[in-house]
């Protein structure tokens, strides 16, 4: 069974603070993704990665950075958090290919005050 683990599950941050969301996968998948989920918008892609050392911008990358130091780990970094970044964040992994199925983590609920 595919396993994608996100930490923390919940996070409260202050405006202007730095936030790091972590994701670990034990599937040995090449690809990893960060999405945010907001009511009425579904899931929107922030950053993704093809493998260790690579990061690519998704549809809404502004205000976010990503880091993929290894096959297993993919982090999302908010250098200067803003209230508009309050959301639920999901990490996912998948095997490279157009028919790729994604395996999602349980999500991180971030509140920026």
Partner 1 sequence: AQKVTQTQTSISVMEKTTVTMDCVYETQDSSYFLFWYKQTASGEIVFLIRQDSYKKENATVGHYSLNFQKPKSSIGLIITATQIEDSAVYFCAMREGGSGSWQLIFGSGTQLTVMP
Cα-based torsion angle of the residue sequence 83, 87, 91, 94 in order, rounded to the nearest 10 degrees? -120
Tell whether residue 43 is a contact of partner 1 (CB under 8 A): yes
Residue from 3, 15, 26, 100 touching partner 1 (CB under 8 A): that is: 100
Pick one of 12, 18, 28, 41: the residue that binds partner 1 (CB under 8 A).
41
Region near partner 1 per CB under 8 A, out of 13-21, 33-41, 62-70, 76-84 = 33-41
List the interface residues with partner 1, window 59-78 (CB under 8 A). Answer: 59
Q: Burial, 61: exposed, middle or buried (Cβ in 10 Å; 0-12, 13-18, 19+)?
A: middle
Judge contact between 25 and 93, C-beta under 8 A: yes
Comparing CB distances to partner 1, the nearer of 79 and 100 is 100
Mark out the alpha helices in the chain (DSSP H runs): none
What is residue 103's three-state secondary structure? strand
Contact of 94 with 26, CB cutoff 8 Å: no
Pick the binder of partner 1 from 46, 90, 110, 112 (CB under 8 A): 90
3-state secondary structure of 31: strand
CB of 74 to partner 1, least distance (A): 16
Binding residues for partner 1, rule: CB under 8 A, are: 33, 35, 40-45, 48, 58-59, 88, 90, 92, 98-104, 106-107
């Amino acid at each position: 069974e595919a396993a994608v683990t996100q930490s923390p599950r919940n996070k409260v941050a202050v405006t202007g603070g730095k936030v790091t969301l972590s994701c670990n996968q034990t599937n040995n998948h090449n690809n990893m993704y960060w999405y945010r989920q907001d009511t009425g918008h579904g899931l929107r892609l922030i950053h993704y990665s093809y493998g260790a050392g690579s990061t690519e911008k998704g549809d809404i990358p502004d205000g976010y950075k990503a880091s993929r130091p290894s096959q297993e780990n993919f982090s999302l970094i908010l250098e200067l958090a803003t209230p508009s970044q309050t959301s639920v964040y999901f990490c996912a992994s998948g095997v490279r290919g157009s028919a790729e199925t994604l395996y999602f983590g349980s999500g991180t609920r971030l509140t920026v005050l």
